[in-house]
Structure 1
Amino acid sequence: MNKYNNILVVADPAQDHQPALSRAIHLARNAEDVTITLFLAIYDFSYEMTSMLSADERQAMRRGVVMQREAWLKDIIRPYVEEGFKIELTVVWHNRPYEAIIAEVFSKNHNMIIKATHDHDKLGAVIFTPTDWHLLRKCPCPVLLVKDHSWPENGKILSCVNLAADDETHEHLNDKIVNEGKAVSTLLNAELNLVNAYPATPVNITIELPEFDPASYTDAVRGHHLKSMKALRHKHGLPEEQTHVLEGLPEDIIPQMAADLDAKIVVLGTTGRTGLSAVFIGNTAEHIIDQLNCDLLALKPDGYVSPLSPTLE
């Protein structure tokens, strides 16, 4: 069974070219029975401010704008529909796009969101919008944030695991990150690689404790991470050469590894607001994903409850 058979694609209202839709079509070509919903949330404050119009007239104007955008999107999807892809359209009037997107996920049980991001002009890294950040923090299903370029021919999938802690929550999230990487790798016929960054010896410890041996400390930390990675790769049936344990900060190691492997997608775990050390949302995440030269697939741990869940209302 294809785990991504109900994909929500967030349309870019500013251009006819839709990189997120192209990614969804690519995934659908390699799978069976995939439904794609192309979604657009629109809002124009000027329509709300026209005091000379009645509520009914304002409603009619909003409906007219929605119908215009629906017609525009129909033109975009027509070639794919004619090719046999199942694509539905949803256009809503909403002043907070991320809330509309997440409400749609809950309403239709989508199992992946795909949304385009923007490139930095200089380095080709990704710029994340406020909507992107809200989706990364609050969306219950996997979020694939894509750049406007083709996936590299022999590009790899890079799953980023955190082996610093031994608690069950981290283990489950690591397993999920690896399993998601395997699913995407199978779908795209790509090689899965795992990466883990471990910290360098803190300089202040070596200064404050003259008898402290930084080399032994570093060896011990590296040994723990190598042992944990070995257990993880054995558990998931991966060869040693597809696993990487490197000294440094995640925000340095992960983008560098993605570039070295010519990665198609980097898979990250995001733990929302639970405060676990595996959390990449915050300063570390901004550093990591703003420097990535490829797409990002962000996951929540099992049991994550979105603050926008209807059950909380």
Structure 2
Amino acid sequence: MTVEDIRSFNRFYTRLIGALDYGRRLYAPYTLTESRVLYELAHSPRTDVADLRTWLHLDAGYLTRILNKFETDGLIERGPSERDPRRRRIRLTTRGRETADLLDERARQAVGALLAGVAPDDRPRLAEALRTVRTLLSGDRAPRPEDVVLREPAPGDLGWIVQRNAALYAAEYDWNAEYEGLVARIVADFAEDHDPHLERVWIAELDGAPVGCVMCVRDAAPGTARLRLLLVEPGARGLGIGDRLVTAVVGFARGAGYHELVLWTNDVLTTARRIYQRHGFVLVAEKPHRSFGQDLVGQDWRLDLRVRAE
């Protein structure tokens, strides 16, 4: 392997994806760099200006000009950081999130068109090659919380939610196929009929693979949303993914106008319960039951969205 080998590959790949010209049209009216900053604001916890600058290796003046443009366009709001008042925190507006979603969808369509030329049998080999490149050039370091991206589900992800819930709960709690049937019905109901303004699914992605999920759906009670199917893969635990997924649901539910967020869980799921408690959920009822081949204690938790945590 030589320097020229990598430079040759870079020239091939930038030409392949059209970064030299098509990228401008793909992300219009924003440049590729501006679109990347918008992507980070929409998908990562790096919402302080200093964190963005460090992660993206951008010149301070250049990043400031980009953020000024975003603010003029009504895409962001800036204010003091909650962690450190001396730092500046950035938040996407509704228009900013819609713009980020549009650019993300365009990028997904472009990559989908690229993958259409790859035979299905060759795609696992391509994915493994990409992971190898990333691992070797990143120094084979352990994953960090900022490496995790929260995104909307792509084709196949809803099936992944069913499969991983069934497999993990069978392995960790010895739950039987009854639980898989429950998850399948929940996911099928969402896929067949959901209001995207009031219901949503999040997939946590690490190194191009899904490692977590959660759902927010309408509950039968008026003004109430329900959090469902929170899951984090064992190999990705410890990165704060569960906390970020619950944060996403709470923020979405509050923004959608719900006044209450509820969930049902079981007492054996201690880690998830601690996350719910940190977000202000209150245990309102519990009842023993026999489900999924086990004797369990079901619990109902509630969060009043009209009361903001201090």
Q: What TM-score do the two structures reach when normalised by structure 2?
A: 0.28
* Larger RCO (CA within 8 A; separation ≥ 6): 1
Q: What TM-score do the two structures reach when normalised by structure 1?
A: 0.27
